[in-house]
Amino acid sequence: MRGIGGEQSNLINMKDLFEYYDEQPIALQKITSEMEQNVDGFNYAELKVFQASCESIGYTFDYDLSAEPFNLRKFDPNDLTTKDIKQKLFNQIKHTL
């Protein structure tokens, strides 16, 4: 599947490993099970700590304005982030106006 601007978008085809706990490596399961113990939800500072923990073992995730984590995946520094994709879409729309 092609992403914005014709690039191959790996994010679109990836499984969200938050939804596939059994497919997570054990080190990642330890981090996500610790996250799941927080029943009151997260704030941005807590999510940054969890994200740093995931990235230290080669995984990352996104989170939205309500501090809801999603899209847990293997970290690839060449992947476009959601922010990058939105910026490319915005730039394409802006040039058509």
Domain boundaries, the chain: 4-96
Contact 69, 61 (CB under 8 A): yes
SS3 labels along 9-61: CHHHHCCCCCCCHHHCCHHHHHHHHHHHCCCCCCCHHHHHHHHHHHHHCCEEE
Alpha-carbon Rg for the chain in angstroms: 15
Instruction: Encode pLDDT of 6-47 as tens digits.
Output: 344 455 567 899 999 999 999 999 999 998 888 788 999 999
Q: Is the full-model pTM beyond 0.85?
A: no
